Amino acid sequence: MTVSPMLARLAAEHATGALLRDHGTLYLVDGRVVHAESPASPSLDVLLTAGGRLAQEGWDEAVDQAGARSAVGRFLVDSGRLGGGELEICHLGAVFDAAFFALAPASGPTRFRYGVGHWFGTVRPVSTAAVERETLRRRELLDSVWPYAAVDTAPVVPRPAAPGQTVSLRQRALLAAADGLRTPAGIARLLGRPAFHTLLDVRRLAAAGLVETPFDPLPEAPPALPSWVGEVAADPDIALLRRLRDALEAHL
C-alpha cells in the first residue's frame, strides 16, 4: 500500500526538495527523506530541550552559527553538545514522528518544491519505503489499541482508576500533565515526547477507562451481522453464544 503516490514517484526520480502536504513537510535529498516537520509533532529542539538533553542556549547557538549553511546537526556534534549516535537516534525519532502526521490522509493539494533544503542539514537519510512502512505500522498499532481517533485531538481528561488498577510511570506523568485543556499534542510538547508515542499512551489509557473518550461519528449504516445470529434464540448453546460474542466484538 502506498501512502503517497507522489512520494513514491519522487523517490524513483531521486528528487531533491520539499514535499508539502496538509499536515506537514518532508524534505528529500536524492529521493531519500532527510528531515520532516509537522505542526502536530514536537520539533527536534523541543524533544532535546524539554527532555533535558540540551540547553536552549546550546540549540540557539547551533542555529545561529550553522543554520545558514544547513549544518546545525553537524555543529551540535562537533561542538560536543551531542554525540553522533545520540543525534542520529533523536533525529530519526523526530523524522518518523513528524512523517506519521505529514503523511496522514490529506484533503488539500500535495506540492513539491524542487531544490528546497532544510537548515538543519542531513544526518541519516531514510528511504521513502521505510518511512511509508513505518507510517502504516503506526496507524495499525493505534487502531489495534483503541480504534476511535477522536481521542487524538480532544483535550485529555483523566478519569479515576478502578480499585486495584495501576498505571505505568510514563502514563502517570501524562495524566499529571492532563489538565482537561491540553490535547495529546500539547502534552507531548510539554513533556518533550514524540507525539505518536503520546497518542499511543492516550489510546491505551482510553482502552483502560482512565481518560474520557469522546465519541466518533457513527457510520451511516451499521454493518450487517452474520445470518446465523438468529439461531441463538432457537439453539442457545455455549459454542453458538461464543460465536455471537466474537461477532459482536468484531463489529463494535
Mean pLDDT score, 137-162? 95
- CA distance linking residue 171 with residue 108, whole number of Å: 35
11-36 per-residue burial string, b: 16 or more CB within 10 A, e: under 16: beeebbbbbbbebbbbbbbebbbbbb
Tens-digit pLDDT profile for residues 58-96: 999 999 999 999 999 999 999 999 999 999 999 999 999
Tens-digit pLDDT profile for residues 91-141: 999 999 999 999 998 778 899 999 999 999 999 999 999 999 999 999 999
Task: Give the CA count within 13 Å in the CB-facing half-sphere of 1.
Answer: 9
The C-alpha angle with vertex 23 and arms to 138 and 123, in degrees rounded to 5, equals 70
Specify the residue for cell string 451499521.
222
Q: Band of the pLDDT at 2, cuts 50, 70, 90?
A: confident
The mean predicted confidence, pLDDT, of the chain is: 88
